[in-house]
Amino acid sequence: MASAASAMFSRGIGNSSSKENSMRGLVSFIADLRNARARELEEKRINKELANIRNKFKQGNLTGYDKKKYVCKLLYIYILGWNVDFGHLEAVNLISANKYSEKQIGYLAVTLFLHESHELLHLVVNSIRKDLADHNELNNCLALHAIANVGSKEMGEALCADVHRLLISPTSKPFVKKKAALTMLRLYRKVPSIVQPEWNERIIAIMDDPDMGVALSVTSLVMALAQDDPETYKGAYTKAAVRLRKIVVDHEYMGDYVYYKVPCPWLQVKLLRLMQYFSPSEDSHVRQLMRDSLQAVLDNAMEMPKNVQQNNAQNAVLFEAINLIIHLDTEHDLMVQISSKLGKFIGSRETNVRYLGLEAMTHLAVRAETLDPIKKHQDIIIASLRDRDITVRRQGLDLLYSMCDNTNSEKIVHELLKYLQTADYAIREEMVLKIAILTEKYATDVKWYVDISMRLIAMAGDHVSDEVWQRIIQIVTNNDELQIYAAQMTLKYCQQEHCHETLVKIGSYILGEFGHLIADSKGCSPIEQFMALQGKFNSCSPNTRAMILSAFVKFVNLFPEIKSQLLQAFKTYSHSLDSELQQRACEYLTMATMPTDDLLRTVLDEMPPFPERASALISRLDKKQNAIGDKRTWSVTGKDGLPGLDRSATLKQNFSGSGPAATATINGAIANGAAAATNGRNGTYTNGGAVKSPTEELAGLDLSTGSSMPNLASALHLSPDWEQGYNRLLLAPSGILYEDPQVQVGLRSEYRADVGCLILYFTNKSTAPIQSFTTTLDNRAGEQLKTDVKSIPDTTVHPGSQSQQMIMFEARGVFSLPPTIRISYIAGSLQALTLQLPVLLNKYMESATLSSDDFFKRWKQIGGAPREAQRIFQGHDVSYDHTRRVLEGLKWGVLDGVDPNPRNFVSATVLHTGAGKFGCLLRLEPNAENKMYRLTIRATDDAVPPILMKAMEERLTQPWPQ
């Protein structure tokens, strides 16, 4: 009874389960029927609606409202996934409507219906241009949206000038400028050539716009432009420093742009990032602006807000500030502060904070002179390799790579190898590259290098790129100390039952080249080497088989005792279906069976060392690091340019020529399977040296065809009427340098020894304020004249008010070219001046007093050429008073009663430079009857007389400046 009941119970359960499954299947079937029915009904409804709309459009008597209504229906149908090609032209026509609501739907439809290669797109260009030129801002915005969303190369080239006009127009509303800037950014990313280099000044000037939204949008545009052409857009550096200080120190911002108590965080981040695209400024004033701003950001970060949004915004600004501090690399006090902060961040509970902390610490490791502050957190960094987030794990890998040196290399390499076994497949190839580079770079022991390299390939052979195993072969070939141990280890791996194919490639090459060095060792006899490679033949790819055959022909030359086995192998594979293997086997068999072995010995000559070349591993790693869109000023491989760092004396000799900087891509030298043919004693491959690719051969040539933006601050672009004020101030310490109806530029100067101070005064003479007032200095004298901007003028100069700028000029040597300055500002449109500053070598002279005997004694001591310059030239006014004024204006000390002829002038002066003091003597002989001068200048340095002669001649041949 019990058994029967149990059986019935079991059958009951089975029946119940079967009924449930049947019910589920029935429900699913009914649902499918309903979905199919719904799709069928939808298709009927759509077809009916499309037929109705098509008929309405064919009738041609629709009002604007009806056109808009039917295009809206087509939009909805298109979004559902149905084809509405017949409505494309109607949408294009709707763009030309006068009503905003109709035009809006037309633009919306065009941006959805048409792609950048659509044949109808050229029909909308004229309509878009018309809307860009419209005085209605809403129409401007619709046109800008269309360009940004659909803009093709042709549309961008046709309309970029109109977009630029809206961006710089003083009548454009802020929201139009914002959209114009972002549209320009979209077009630039699509077609970089459409942004003209001459637009740079005007675009940079908009960074001073009082509207934060406009400044943010334009800064985004400038960031993209500056990454590709930092020289043209270097003026943005100072703009960014000034604007940042106004926000974080002076608190000049609109209340609408405060996000959870953080003012303009997006603009702050972009300004901080923008300054990292340029080399740090040497101007003390700009450095102070940045120092104040960065200190304020660090002080603000001392507060630990509980609000998540405030915390995120604050951290975004903070980490970008940290990256800028590291980039500057000279702010010691700020560096100390961030070192302690980063240690806390990498141990944070928040994933984003940990990631940003590791990234900033990686930047610090690349740029810092000492790694001691980072090594304190080594255990935490190693633990980050097992973080739950892959981005944190990847960043931890970058940091470990960057912080590695000779003191911690073994521990880091072993930790990376340990982690490699469980690492994500997405980062294994990058890990293999970094482990290989670190192993080579910090190897202090021959066995350690070989053991780690072989273990690396055995563990992650599928992720080992060709560059890695080729590099190992190159190092072994170039270093005698490695060859015996490397041959023993490769044979050991090849004798194992499971051996990765990459190790077989290495074994084929190394045993073929250096197998004879270990032939007398136990377990390394020729027949054992042959059997090890022969056992892996059938399981390898054709490329590897080709390398094994090449190793066998080397054995024929080296090991005659196993020649019969080798010949049998060649005979066997001479019937291979693979044409490459068949040809190799046949050729090798023919060579091995010749009556004499002269040809065999000649062909198999000794393998030469590989030539030195930049590391293929580091080049490959650089490509992976630079795959990101942002062109940063640093990379993880930034310290890898130094060869042989931190190596012991033994391996410095053994690894000579094989450091990271001397690394060579093996290319075809280590045979790429079927492409490799042999010709060496130990089977050297035909292209045994590293062969340059066509790209590498042309690496030294400048193949660029584009022209860079001219330096508008240079003397080539001096403004009209610049000379009058310049000539006047060559002879006077202060006065008016330039003046026009809008601005007046005054100058006051003072020189002490080799240092000069110029203060420029800018006065707004107009009745309207001047915006975005900017000055750019161009120092043509190079290292001989050091400039330091101590202050910059205000960006806004109100009517009748004045702004000033102080610049220090230090004469470090003898220079001949005066600096120039570019002054640009917005007064309705962009206005610009380029003026030459009266900073000549004469300004650094100090008049001296000598007696007659001392003067002529020193005159004779200096002697003639090359320390003498003499010219005879026509003078403008050879009168005594005019000549004396010129001499004294150019800082020559006139010595009265020294020359026997009272009409002649003799002068003495001392020139002060950072390279030393130079005595200068002058003798000027005027001829009043013929209005001629004979001028002789001697100096203790032969570079000085020609420069002083040129300045004197220019002044004496012209009237006194008024």
Which residues fall within 8 angstroms of residue 877, CB to CB, at 6 or more apart?
Answer: 883, 959, 960
Instruction: Identify which of 441, 364, 358 has the alpha carbon closest to the alpha carbon of residue 405.
Output: 441
Residue 312 CB-density burial (10 A; 0-12 exposed, 13-18 middle, 19+ buried): middle
| 70 annotated as belonging to a binding site for a ligand | yes
| Rg of the Cα atoms in the chain | 39
| 692 annotated as belonging to a binding site for a ligand | no
Quote the CA–CA distance of 771 and 827 in Å, as a whole number.
7
Q: What is the dihedral of CA 483, 489, 492, 493, to 10 degrees?
A: -120
Helical pair 501-514 and 446-459, crossing angle rounded to 10 deg:
140
- Do the Cβ atoms of 784 and 814 come closer than 8 Å? yes
DSSP class of residue 790 equals -
| 48 annotated as belonging to a binding site for a ligand | no
Quote the CA–CA distance of 370 and 639 in Å, as a whole number.
12
* CA 758 centroid distance within chain: 35
Q: Long-range contact list for 96-100, CB < 8 A, 24+ apart? A: 96/127, 97/64, 97/67, 97/68, 98/64, 99/64, 100/136, 100/138, 100/139
- Do the Cβ atoms of 764 and 729 come closer than 8 Å? no
DSSP β-bridge partners for residue 811: 785
Quote the CA–CA distance of 400 and 374 in Å, as a whole number.
10
Q: What is the dihedral of CA 204, 209, 214, 216, to 10 degrees?
A: 70
Kindly report the number of other CB atoms within 10 A of residue 426's CB atom: 10
- Separation in Å, CA 334 to CA 272, 292, 301, 306, 328: 15, 11, 13, 25, 10
Residue 627 CB-density burial (10 A; 0-12 exposed, 13-18 middle, 19+ buried): exposed
Quote the CA–CA distance of 476 and 515 in Å, as a whole number.
13
b/e 350-372 (16+ beta carbons within 10 angstroms → b): eebbbbbbbbbbbbbbbbbeebe
Quote the CA–CA distance of 668 and 685 in Å, as a whole number.
8
| 235 annotated as belonging to a binding site for a ligand | no
DSSP β-bridge partners for residue 778: 820
Q: Which helix (H) or strand (E) holds 506?
A: helix 501-514
b/e 904-921 (16+ beta carbons within 10 angstroms → b): ebbbbbbbbbeeeebbbb
* HEC sequence for 444-488: CCHHHHHHHHHHHHHHCHHHCCHHHHHHHHHHHHHCHHHHHHHHH
- Do the Cβ atoms of 222 and 203 come closer than 8 Å? yes
Q: What is the dihedral of CA 844, 846, 847, 848, to 10 degrees?
A: -130
108: phi then psi, degrees, rounded to nearest 5:
-60, -45
| 24 annotated as belonging to a binding site for a ligand | yes
Length of the chain counted residue by residue: 962
DSSP β-bridge partners for residue 685: 678
Which residues fall within 8 angstroms of residue 392, CB to CB, at 6 or more apart?
Answer: 351, 354, 355, 358, 384
Residue 279 CB-density burial (10 A; 0-12 exposed, 13-18 middle, 19+ buried): exposed
| 639 annotated as belonging to a binding site for a ligand | no
Token pair of 949, please? 């002669």
- Beta strand spans in 85-139 (E): none
| 56 annotated as belonging to a binding site for a ligand | yes
- Do the Cβ atoms of 752 and 910 come closer than 8 Å? no
Quote the CA–CA distance of 115 and 510 in Å, as a whole number.
57
User: Residue positions in the annotated binding site?
Assistant: 24-25, 56, 65, 69-73
